[in-house]
Every structure is written in C-alpha cells, then in structure tokens.
Amino acid sequence: MAHFFIDDSLRAGSAVPGSVLSIDGAEARHAVTVSRVRPGERLRIGNGAGLMLDVTVTGADGGRLTFRVDEADVVEPSTPRILLVQALAKGDRDEMAVQAATELGIDGVIPWAASRSVTRWEGPKVAKGQARWASIVREASKQSIRAWLPEVAGLTSTRQLAALAGSTRMLLLEPTAELRLTEIGAPTDDRDILLVVGPEGGISTAELDQLEQAGATRVRLGETVLRTSTAGPAALAILNATLGRW
C-alpha cells in the first residue's frame, strides 16, 4: 500500500467488507489534493484505535474521499504497554525521540519537565507543545502504518512521575546504572512499562533518588552515553525484542 490515512470517525461495526464509506475533513483533503489519490487506487485506512481497512477508492473530490471496504481487521492493543517519558530538550531532540519511538512502536508518550530541561513549556506553550508532539506522533504513525495511535499525555512533573512509579514498571535510563537493560527479564504482569529519558544534561541525582525511592529502577544501555534523541528509541528496540514484539 502506497498510502495510509487515519480517520478517527471510522467504526468497526459499519466498516465491513463490501460497504461503501467516506471520510471528510483534513485527512480527506490531504489524500485528494496532496497525495492525489484517484478512483481505482487501493489504500489502507485506520481509525487509530485498532481498526485497519484495505479499501479501493471509488470517489475523490474536494474534501471527501469515498471508498469500498475490501478487508477489515481489528488489531488488539499491545500488553503490556510501553510508554516513553521524554524530558523536554533543547532544539528538536525531544521531537526526534518522539518521532522515532512512534515508528518503533511506542504505546504512549509523556512529556516531562525535568529539572535540567533547558526548554520550558509554560503558559500557552503547554497546550501548544502537547499539540505539536501529538501531530508528530500522528504523522509518524501514518508513515509506519500503525493500527493504534499513541496518546500524548499532558506535561508531567517529577512529583507526578513518582506517583506513577508504584503502579508501573518504571525504568530510568541512566549511564552510570549497574544493571543493563538487556538483563531485565520479560514482565510477569501487565503493568505499563515506562522508559524515563532525561534531557541533554541527564536526570539529576535528586530526581533519580526520588523516582527510585518511589519504585523505579535504574538501567543502562551500554558503555557509551546516548543523546536524549536516541536513548529512548534504542531502549524501546531492546524491549520489543524482550517482549517478543519483534
């Protein structure tokens, strides 16, 4: 399939083989005017919540895309979920991490205002930053043809992360940790796995202690120090193999 589009309005009950459906709005306009989709082409369309359709386009006009459903499939969500806790970082390194992690299969993203984060989301920047990350996640999900669209949570503080440590399996990516991530065995329960990545200056000692006391575990990836843009995706690749996703 050359193109994949996501439309949140699609529902499994009405999207059955042989049915003719249509989508409107920005996604349809992009398909018609940018991707120049034409009748007769075969596409894949999802709703970001597990529904995946193989379709044949029957109409492409203006802001509406009409298609016949050839095949329909519902993909179950991954269990346990893996979430990326990405500290805000200077430049676009945090956005690079979010994009790559989405392509590699992350199940959710949590922006973190770490103590050493140079970039700050304050006031109107909070909603703007979250919307920006959500847009990156959506485009990366389309590029990698993902059935489930990862959710981007609201901006999170260290105190809020500590509150999550007791109910999740929180892994702090820290170059000085004794335990390697490859030594972490497959989970025995369905608790969410949270990969916590600090900014360019790393996770502060105070934050490491606070999160560890709350139940988190320090782990390292190897002998080298990775940038904040690559640490999360690298750790996710290891967990994908450990959990049998790859």
User: What pairing do the DSSP bridges indicate for beta strands 42-46 and 4-6?
Assistant: parallel
pLDDT at res. 33: 87
pLDDT at res. 124: 96
Q: How far apart are CA 205 and CA 218, in angstroms?
A: 12
54 closest CA partner among 95, 99, 15: 15
pLDDT at res. 34: 86
- Environment class of residue 161 by beta-carbon count within 10 Å: exposed (0-12), middle (13-18) or buried (19+)? buried
pLDDT at res. 2: 58
pLDDT at res. 159: 97
pLDDT at res. 181: 96
User: What pairing do the DSSP bridges indicate for beta strands 169-173 and 20-24?
Assistant: unpaired
Contact 27, 7 (CB under 8 A): yes
pLDDT at res. 63: 84
pLDDT per position as a tens digit, 181-216: 999 988 889 999 999 999 999 999 999 999 999 999
pLDDT < 50 positions in the chain: 1
pTM score, two decimals? 0.93
